[in-house]
Amino acid sequence: MKPENQSNPAKQRADAANSRSTETSIEAALAAPIDRDWRVGHQGRDRMYYEERHHGGWQRIEIDGEMLTGTAHHVIYFASPERWQSYPEWARHRRDEIIDRIKSAFRPPDYEYYGENMAGSGISAPHADFASPRVTKPTATAKQHRALLLVIVLLLGIAGAMGWFVKRGLDNGTILFPSKRSSLQRTISRQQEPVRFWLAIGFYSALGLGTGGLALWFVREARRLNVHKG
């Protein structure tokens, strides 16, 4: 009787693929292999770092960066040669070598670079090395853009309806009490049931403000989109 993994070629191929995937993930997760005396990594949302092993410990320099939305998820801002001179002595005269190492670990298309070939010029601010870095805008088809506009109109309509409903309730002193159970959905009076009345006012106000804020956020995102036909 053959072992199960020999009698099932499909399972063997799947296991081999999973094994290769696991090995790749582990290799990517290790910032510094055993036989290498340097490593790189992310620090927070935007920044990166480069470290080397010196005198039995890791020495670090921090690299400016920025998260993007697009094909590349980060841009790396390399310091100018003059600013690089403010780095520790072990890194001060090895700019090209260290940049090449960082680029070998943080590769396109996931990363973009600025400043690696820049000539020296006095730098005071971290991002002053770069005249106007290009930020990739998120893209959307015309159909997706229209759908987003429809959602915005719907949210604004809900926000407006809630505002009108709250104003009407305050003016009349009565409002429909919100409840999942139809038996509890009834008109309540401010004079007879003040607690329930103000709870209902608070609920409808929060709903209107929430949908209005979400609509404004979608408006901002829609303005950032790079719309193309498709």
Mean pLDDT of 151-169: 92
Alpha-carbon gap, residue 228 to 226, rounded angstroms: 7
Q: What are the residues facing 63 on neighbouring strands?
A: 48
pLDDT value, residue 117? 78
Instruction: Please provide the average confidence, as pLDDT, over all residues in the chain.
Output: 79
Higher pLDDT among residues 192 and 135, named by residue: 192
128 pLDDT more than 80: no
State the angle between helix axes of 194-224 and 142-172 in degrees (0 to 180), rounded to the nearest 10: 160
Burial (CB count within 10 angstroms: exposed 0-12, middle 13-18, buried 19+), residue 48: buried
pTM above 0.95, yes or no: no
Quick one: residue 54, left, alpha or beta (phi over 0 = left, psi -120 to 50 = alpha)?
beta
Helices (H), 85-125: 89-92, 95-105
pLDDT value, residue 130? 44
Please state, as a whole number, how many other Cβ atoms lie within 10 Å of the Cβ of residue 6.
9
Provide the residue ranges of all domains of the chain, joining segments of one domain with +. Answer: 34-136, 140-228
Alpha-carbon gap, residue 211 to 208, rounded angstroms: 5
What DSSP state is assigned to residue 190? Answer: T
Contacts of 178 (CB under 8 A, 6+ apart): 185, 200, 203, 204
